[in-house]
Structure 1
Amino acid sequence: MSQIQAASQGPCPEVANELTRELGGFDCSGSPVVELRNPADLTHWTMPLLEVLILAGAVLALWYAVRRLRRHGDPTNLALMIGGLAYLTINEPPLYFPNKFGLMEQVGLNFVHNVFTVQFMWDRLPLYISALYIALPMLAYEAVRVTGVFRRHGLLPGALAVGFVHSAFYEIFDTIGPQLSWWKWNHDAPSNSVFLDAVPVGSITLYSAVSIAGLALGLGLFVGRRTWAGNAPRGRSLVWRTAAVGATALVVMLAVGALESVVRGLGGGDGAYAVVLYLELAIVWVGGALALGASWLAGRREGTAVSSVYSRVYGWSFLAAFAFFWAVSIPSRLDAVDGVTPQGTELGNLPFVLLCFAAATFVTLVAGHGGPLEDEDAQDTGERGSRVDPVGSATRA
């Protein structure tokens, strides 16, 4: 049976076959539930290492969320995890099967993932991507929580700060993925008309920054505010509120994305579309960075700064691993011609990723080493004459 014939058994659009052939040649005839592969047989040797890194982050995030719930009665970290998975459940299927959701003409097939050790949904969804929706939002939220942005500046600045931190970490990953054959972008998709080298600007803005800011906004609205006021939701209330967290991420992303559709509808070309995307990204980055920096400085002046075990352990692990991935990508980058390596893969934008590394490193220093380790040394009423509030900033007892 040919690949095209086999692919017809699954729900993937035909264009997916062209993209997957460039990743090593697989089709849409995998199991709709789960498909397993030998990690030694994957397209690029970095792929199983990436899986271990992201899955370890998700496991650590689960441990940390349960620890915070037990020690501090704070369900926000757990709600963030489950809300992120709810967002994945809503968001990912239309991206993989736009033909089944009536989105081929408007959106198209944005990309296809390469096949990893564990795959779901006809080989479209790698397990590590599900873990990514847990590990990196937790890293971003923790950095903002322990610097007290939500308490000092409110929900919207806090959400922007989470979006900024997530974008900085995520784009370190996003800009190298195409070069190492982790996935392949579709340059012919209507929604991918503006690129920053190997990555669509729509992905940089809407996914890495805006949607996670929306996730954090939903977390604050539905779970955080009650928790920080000393009335943490429990039981059925927590269940529906957690589902609302994931839905808020999608609503915010679609609402912000609608502005770009308006620009196109009014006759704006790719240039106007790019301006809107970069402006939206700048709002998240600049607004979030200013809120985070101001709150960190206030904490230092007050002597109330605390730090996060998760930020320290996973933040440095993530940065070290990706510094290694970027280092091993240098030889093929040096041999590239017109942004394409000898292996036929595309290069990410180096100045942008250096900016992301700098921002993520600073955030890890701030959140991982800002003061006493909140989950090891400080209790609700504890050492150093201070009390740790649910938002993560210590206040004088």
Structure 2
Amino acid sequence: MMLSFRGSENVRELAMPWRFSLTQTYDPVENPTGLISFGMAENVVFTQDSVSYRSSAPTAARLPAAAAVHLNNILKPHAPIDPEHIFVADSPTSLGSMLGYNLAEPEDGILVSRPVYGRFELDYGVESGVRMVYADTTAEEAFSPACVENYERALKECGKEIRAVLLVNPHNPVGRCYPVETLKAIARFCNKHRLHLISDEVYASCVFDSGDSTAVPFTSILSLDLAELIDPNLVHVLYGFSKDFASGGLHLGFLVTQNEQLRQACKAILRLHGASQAAVTIGTAILEDQAFVSSFTAEARKRLASAYRLTTSVLDKEGINYVKGGNAGFFVYIDLSPYLPPDGTITPRNREFALAQRLVDAGVFLHPGEEHSRSIGWFRLVFSQEEDTLKEGLNR
């Protein structure tokens, strides 16, 4: 379904006999007639399932089922997520690279509104050569159904073949969730132009009570009746352990897609991006304990709410402008443009970098706006710290 040439070629390669080692399924007790593999260079005598090569080790077989239960709980999809539709890799970052490779040719574009998390340029571009094409908006415009007008303009003017729209929901760095009507408008836009819709939902459970009654609750793209809006084979959701479980070092990510051809194309390059069996074992144990997940999520949301309220109260007191309506993620998007050095001989971006250096000299670091936005002077402040550390950082 609309794969890149190289993605389609890899699917064909995957089907070549003997190209990939067949997995040993023999067990003297559980499966005495199973296949004995003399093809995998692994010291089986000393190897446990949790540190083996085997993608079909018992825990690996359980992980998609456990992930489906968890994702059905938090994403509340219109149709239940089938474990068969979950593809496991070592991180959402790797999955972004895999999607870029399999959906687009080098120098093709992926369309995204801006401000946005700037490192997508690396995630989708370093290996696959795919470029981010930006539909620049204000923070307010980005969450309105009218944002598709900016998408249409960028699609027409970019001079590149656009293969997908990337949606970040909850949003990084603005910290908001997309309204239902905006999600529907973006899905219709993608269907109109036959574009893939990639919804990065890694902060799905990091939604909290910010104290703002107007804040929009989180809605997964999968909770919509997609059949009325877009070909479901064009919709792909990214999720992982790094944010919701504070476990970036575990390196475990999930792609949810009904597109079987895309899953096959990802499988063909999984050897470069596969999750370790140790991570799979740990991730499976966590997701199979939904009582723990519920308890952890509740505590995380409570602490995020407290840190957000502390941060915004200081910003309000000091008269520092920031994007209101946040209720998700780890960040507040703040306007430090009034504090930029005087406009003189240095460029606007270097004025921003000079302010960033002043902050570092004072013992505190924030990502300058060039990481996220065309506008000068906007910085992302990550507040997910211990309270004493957060207070000290805000004071600095």
- TM-score bracket, normalised by the shorter chain, equals under 0.3
Q: Looking at secondary structure, tell me which structure has more strand per residue.
A: 2
With normalisation by structure 2, the TM-score equals 0.21
- Structure number with greater Rg is 2
* Structure (1/2) with the larger helix percentage: 1
> How high is the TM-score relative to the length of structure 1?
0.21
